[in-house]
Structure 1
Amino acid sequence: MMTFVNNDFGDVLLHRSSVRDFDPSVTIPREELTAMIQETITAPSACNLQAWHFEVVDNAAGKDLLRQYFMKFNLPQLESASAVVQIFGDTQAFKSYRDLWNKAAADGRITPEKRDEVLRTFLPLYEKAPQSMLVADSSVDSAIAATQLMLVARAHGYETNPIGGYDTTKAAKLFGLDPTRYVPVMAIAIGKPAKNGKDEMKSARYPVDQVLHFAD
C-alpha cells in the first residue's frame, strides 16, 4: 500500500491547478508510475467494465510520438513533464468481462450465482451494442480515470495538466494500437512544477447556483 506524500484530501482536491511548465530535471520512477496507474484503476466504471487503456510516455522516444499529433500550444507541457499518460477508451473491454467475473468467483469475492447474474445482465448489452455506445461508455470510463489520475498524482506530490488538444485520428496508430478499438480520450502531463510553473491565473468558476438545480 502506497504511503501518499500528501494525504490531505481537501488540499489534494481543492488546490489542484493545471501546470504548463514542469521541472524537466525531475524523473518519476516507473515503479511509482505503475503504482499511480494501479491506484487510478480503482476508479468506478460503467458495469465495472473498466474500459480504459493507458500508454505512459516517460522518455525521449515516447515524446517524439506525442509531438507528431499534439497541437503546438501543448508542447511546453510535453517537453517539460516527467511523464505523459495518454488514456484511451477500450471499446472491446467487454471481451475480457467474462474472465474478470470468473476470476472474482474463483477468488471467493463473489458467488457463482451472482457472477452468472452479472454476466446475464450486462454482457449482452455490450456484445450487441453499436460502436457509438461502446465509444461513449469507454470515453466516460476513461474520463473518470483521468480525473482520478490527476488526484492520485497530487497525492504522490506531483502536479498535472490535462491535455485534449491533439489530432485524435493519429494517436492510436502511433502507439501501435487498433484505432477502431482504442479511442483517445485525454492525455495527462505529470511532474513537479518549475519555479513559476503553476497557472498564475486562477481559473474562474461559474457560481454554483448557475450550474445547480434541485429537481423538485
Structure 2
Amino acid sequence: MLCKQLVIITGPCWRCRKFMKLAVTHVVGTGDYNGPDEFSKEELNMARDHGVFIKKQYSQTSKEIYELLPIAFNQKQVVEASAVVAVLGDLENIRMAEKIYGQAVDAGFMPADTAKSMVEHYTGMYSSMPPEAIRQIAYTDGGLVSMQLMLVTRAKGYDTVPIGGYDKQKFMEAFRISERYIPIMLVAIGKAAKPGHPTVRLAVDDVAFFNEMPKE
C-alpha cells in the first residue's frame, strides 16, 4: 500500500515571491507531489491546522520547485531560495570558439588573423581529445564558474548554498536537458534566514606543499 505524507514547507509565493507556509502531499517512494487543488478534505484541514493559509492564488508555486525538491534529496534550500541556478558543462563548447574570438576581434582585443588561428588550433585540438578529457575540462570550468557566481552574488549582498548532492540523471530527465550538457552544481541564491553554522577547514600546511609531496 502506498503511503502518502503531508509536507509543509516554507517557500516563495508564485506571484509576489514572499515566503509563506506551503503544503504538498507526497507519495513516499515516488517523485509525486500534489498541491492543495488535489487535497482531500482531511488533508486541507490538517494543513490549516498547521498554519497553512489555503487559498488558490496563495497555494500555487512553480511546478519546477516541487520537481526539484525530491531530486535534491529534499534539501530545503531549493524551495526556500529566491532562485536556484543550475550550472551545466557544455561538452560541445568548441562550437562557441568562433563566436567568442569573433567578439574579441569586434572589441579590438586581437587581430582577425590571430583569432582565426586560435579557432583553428583549438578546433583541431578538441577533435583529437578523448571524450573523458573534454568532460574533465567541462567539470573544471564549471567549478570555476560556480565559485565566481557565488563570489559575485555575495558581493551584491546575497547568500548562496552550493548543492552538489542531487540525482543528476533525474535532474536531466525532469528538465529535459540535452546530452550535450552535463550537470555540475546547483547554486541556491537568496537572503539567509539565519547565519550559517560555523565550519572548520584544514590548515594550509596540511594541503599545500613546496616542490614535493610529503611522505605518507
TM-score range with shorter-chain normalisation? 0.5 to 0.7
TM-score, structure 2 normalization: 0.66
State the partner residue of 2:66: 64
Q: Over residues 185-215 of structure 1, what are the superposed CA-to-partner deviations in whole Å (9 max), with x where a residue is unaligned?
A: 1000011111xx2222x11111111111111
Task: Say which SS state the counterpart of residue 176 (structure 1) adopts.
Answer: coil
Aligned-residue Cα RMSD (Å) equals: 2.5
Where relative contact order (Cα < 8 A, 6+ residues apart) is larger, the structure is 1
Shift of residue 23, structure 1, vs aligned partner: 8.4
Cα 1:104–1:161 change in 2 (3 A) is same
Instruction: Structure 2 unaligned segments of length 5 or more: list them.
Output: 1-9, 19-60
Q: How do 1:59-208 and structure 2 match up within 5 A?
A: 60-72=62-74, 74=75, 76-178=76-178, 180-194=179-193, 197-200=194-197, 202-208=198-204
Shift of residue 118, structure 1, vs aligned partner: 1.2
Distance in 2 (CA, whole Å) between partners of 1:103 and 1:127 is 23
Instruction: Structure 1 unaligned segments of length 5 or more: list them.
Output: 1-21, 29-58
Shift of residue 27, structure 1, vs aligned partner: 4.9
Cα 1:27–1:111 change in 2 (3 A) is farther
Contact 2:69 2:79 in 1 (8 A): no
For the pair shown, the structure with the greater C-alpha radius of gyration is: 2
Task: Say which SS state the counterpart of residue 95 (structure 1) adopts.
Answer: helix
Q: Over residues 44-87 of structure 1, what are the superposed CA-to-partner deviations in whole Å (9 max), with x where a residue is unaligned?
A: xxxxxxxxxxxxxxx62231231242113x2x111211111011
Cα 1:106–1:150 change in 2 (3 A) is closer
Q: Over residues 77-112 of structure 1, what are the superposed CA-to-partner deviations in whole Å (9 max), with x where a residue is unaligned?
A: 112111110111011111121222233224432102
Distance in 2 (CA, whole Å) between partners of 1:90 and 1:117 is 22
Runs of 4+ deviating beyond 6 Å: none
Distance in 2 (CA, whole Å) between partners of 1:130 and 1:122 is 14
Shift of residue 135, structure 1, vs aligned partner: 1.2
Q: Over residues 130-166 of structure 1, what are the superposed CA-to-partner deviations in whole Å (9 max), with x where a residue is unaligned?
A: 2211211111111101001111111111111000111
Deviates more, 1:122-131 or 1:137-146: 122-131
Distance in 1 (CA, whole Å) between partners of 2:97 and 2:210 is 36
Code of the residue aligned with 1:186 in structure 2: it is M
Task: Say which SS state the counterpart of residue 188 (structure 1) adopts.
Answer: strand
TM-score, structure 1 normalization: 0.66
Higher strand share: 2
Distance in 1 (CA, whole Å) between partners of 2:124 and 2:66 is 40
Code of the residue aligned with 2:132 in structure 1: it is S
Shift of residue 128, structure 1, vs aligned partner: 2.6
Distance in 1 (CA, whole Å) between partners of 2:102 and 2:191 is 41
Contact 1:105 1:115 in 2 (8 A): yes
Distance in 1 (CA, whole Å) between partners of 2:121 and 2:192 is 46
- In the alignment of these two chains, the number of paired residues is 160
